[in-house]
Amino acid sequence: MNERKLKQLNLIVVIAAVVGVLCMGIFTFFFAPDGQNKITTGKPEDFNKDWVLRNYKGQNDMLITLPAKLDYGANDIVTIMRQVPEGVTDDTALFFETEFQNVVVDIGDIRVYSYGVMNNQKLTRTAVPCQHVVSLAGAKPGDVIAIYLASGYDKYSGRLPSVKIGSRGDIVSGIILGNGAGFVFALTLIAITIVLFVGMMLNRKVEIDRRRSAYAFSFVIAAALWSLTSNPIMQLLTKNAFGLYMSSMVLLLLLPVLYLMHLRCFAVKKRFAKIFEIGIYVFSVFMLTGIVFQMLYVLDFATYIVVTKVMILIGLIVLAAIMYLAADVYTDKSIVSNLLAHMVLTVSCVLEAVLSLFRFYKKSDGLVLSVGLYIFLVMLMITAEKAMAQEVVKERDDALSNVEEKKELAFKHINSRFVYSTLGTAMSSLRDTDPENSRLIYNTSVYMKYNMQTIQERTMVPFIEELSYIKAYLGMQEKNHPGLSCSVEDKIVEFSVPFNTVEPLVENAVKNGALSGSTPGKIVIRSYERLDCFAIQIVDNGVGIGPDKKFTGKTSFKEIRRVLKTKCGGAVEVKTKPDKGTIVTVKIPKSGYEIKE
């Protein structure tokens, strides 16, 4: 996708998100209609029997048991009545839930509760799904409770809810117990997402696909917020059922835009990208149109959102097919991960739509969708986090690869053949006249070759090869330090050792051992065979400071131990005595044996 089109899509998504956030803030904090904030606190008793239904279709009063569905039309008022029971206190309350119904409650001649009634604000006069807690404070046993219900929709007219009675504390505890898990999960998901998002933005050193991750995190946060605004616990906290409902509807309209933009980030082929782009334009316009209709009271969310849910369900099914095709075309593993998460969401939405047609599922309405949504969000988060981790690993591997390439390049730039040839010429010219310096030049060339080979990756080498470098190094030290005595007792050399492990130990024995004391230093190198291993001993007569206490070699003692262990199962044993010296023994196990440190 060209940069110009990408900016256009980003701008559309940003505008949609900003409008959505502003609308949620307006609905939640600036519109709290009278009587629509009576949410306080559930584990009450059923209060469904012995209700009197007044004037049903011109008939006499009749007893009715709640809940019930009666044949009423839009705006028809249903009246049910019952006496206040014995044992009520000022802390006693009624609790019931309605969908899109206006509610009025009278006790005797006193109106104690109203919701969505006689409200002239266009933006807030529509009754929305709400939990009602009606205080019976001041009521006396025998007083008549009258509940009036009416809806602007035929579908919800005549629906009588189940009523419970109990203390406010009981009601609150019931709401929390029934909805606490989803509430905590959504809050946790938001917190984790924000932390990961901030970490991603601060990690500027790693080339992460921030656009892809940002849309994934934005969608997760928006979906979690949608779950929160739909949660009854939020009504307890904000006391604004209308604002929460409107916020949840705006979020529901925004979610397809964010999700499609997230999926668009994976599309490289034009035919797939075009589908996502069209979807983004369509759902962005659909979202803005729905908000405008609600604001102007042309068509409220209750009707508009039905079409939205149908569109989202169809879109999820179509996207599942597209993502399945894309998974075959692309090699990006994250597409397959997104497909699996998408299938979880799609299946849960389809199951929720099918189960909602059956009466037995009414009490668990939304459960399948909620579980599926939470699983989907977790899978999406894991996918985004794995993508970030893969980018970090890739960045590290690229950095290491660059280091290796630079080492190889530096090695190639050294004309080693010319250097060795020159040293060989100098050695030959001095062989007859100055054999000591001729030998020094030879040892220097061997030692130089050994150090240059450490640039290249080498594993196991014959011990006789490693020993030749050790002899060259000792010869150089004997020339520089005439009092130093070095001897090599190489009885057994027919075995292999990890490259660059024994020679650094010898260097350390010379520097920190033989040359550290006041007396003439002495170094002895022995190689011999044991029943279970080949052993190399490095003996010095220094002050007795072992390499595990002081090691100044070019390779750390810890690294030498690690290499010996991983490459051949070998080990290093150190014995030291003050003013006596140190014995370092390298053990290379024979086939079928194991060395224990």
How far is Cα 561 from Cα 443, in angstroms, rounded to an integer? Answer: 27
Q: Does the residue 412 lie in any domain?
A: no
Statement to judge: residues 230 and 120 lie in one domain = no
Statement to judge: residues 161 and 185 lie in one domain = no
Statement to judge: residues 129 and 251 lie in one domain = no
Statement to judge: residues 109 and 211 lie in one domain = no
Q: Does the residue 399 lie in any domain?
A: no
How far is Cα 323 from Cα 304, in angstroms, rounded to an integer? Answer: 28
Statement to judge: residues 116 and 158 lie in one domain = yes
CATH number of the domain that residue 149 is part of: 2.60.120.260
Statement to judge: residues 165 and 298 lie in one domain = no
Identify the domain containing residue 228 by its residue range: 3-34+179-392
Q: Does the residue 119 lie in any domain?
A: yes
Q: What is the pLDDT of residue 406?
A: 60
Token pair, residue 558, equals 């810890």
- pTM across the whole model: 0.57
Q: Does the residue 304 lie in any domain?
A: yes
Statement to judge: residues 185 and 292 lie in one domain = yes
Looking at 153, 170, 187, the residue that finishes a domain is: 170
**Residues 165, 166, 167, 171: is their CA dihedral positive or negative?**
negative
Which residue pairs from 517-524 have beta carbons closer than 8 angstroms and sit at least 24 positions apart in sequence?
A: 517/541, 517/542, 517/543, 517/579, 520/483, 520/484, 520/485, 521/481, 521/483, 521/484, 521/485, 522/484, 522/485, 522/486, 523/474, 523/484, 523/485, 523/486, 523/487, 524/486, 524/487, 524/488, 524/489
Statement to judge: residues 566 and 481 lie in one domain = yes
Statement to judge: residues 101 and 120 lie in one domain = yes
Q: Does the residue 116 lie in any domain?
A: yes
Looking at 368, 392, 416, the residue that finishes a domain is: 392
Cβ proximity of 381 and 220 under 8 Å: yes
Q: Does the residue 441 lie in any domain?
A: no
Q: Does the residue 7 lie in any domain?
A: yes
Q: Does the residue 436 lie in any domain?
A: no
Angle at which helix 3-25 crosses helix 270-296, to 10 degrees, equals 30
CA 46 to chain centre: 43
Q: What is the pLDDT of residue 200?
A: 62
Q: What is the pLDDT of residue 501?
A: 85
Strand, helix or coil at 66? coil
Statement to judge: residues 230 and 314 lie in one domain = yes
Tens of pLDDT along the chain (597 residues)? Answer: 455 555 666 666 667 767 777 776 666 555 555 444 443 444 688 999 989 998 887 788 889 999 999 988 888 889 999 999 988 888 888 999 888 888 999 998 899 988 876 454 444 446 788 888 888 988 898 899 999 998 888 888 889 999 999 888 788 777 777 777 778 777 777 777 777 667 666 655 544 556 777 777 788 888 888 888 888 888 877 778 888 888 888 888 888 888 888 888 777 677 777 888 888 888 888 888 888 887 777 777 777 888 888 888 888 888 888 877 776 666 566 677 778 888 888 888 888 888 888 877 776 777 788 888 888 877 877 776 666 666 656 666 665 566 556 655 555 555 455 455 555 666 666 666 666 666 666 666 666 666 666 656 567 888 988 888 888 888 888 888 888 888 888 888 889 998 888 888 888 888 877 787 667 788 899 999 988 899 999 998 877 764 545 566 667 788 888 888 888 889 998 888 877 788 899 999 988 888 876
Overall size of the chain counted in residues: 597
Q: What is the secondary structure of 531-565 as a DSSP string?
A: SSEEEEEEEE-SS---TTT---SSS-HHHHHHHHH
- Report how many domains make up the chain: 3
Looking at 342, 360, 392, the residue that finishes a domain is: 392
CATH number of the domain that residue 353 is part of: 1.20.1070
Statement to judge: residues 213 and 131 lie in one domain = no
Statement to judge: residues 232 and 194 lie in one domain = yes
Cβ proximity of 301 and 251 under 8 Å: no
CATH number of the domain that residue 494 is part of: 3.30.565.10
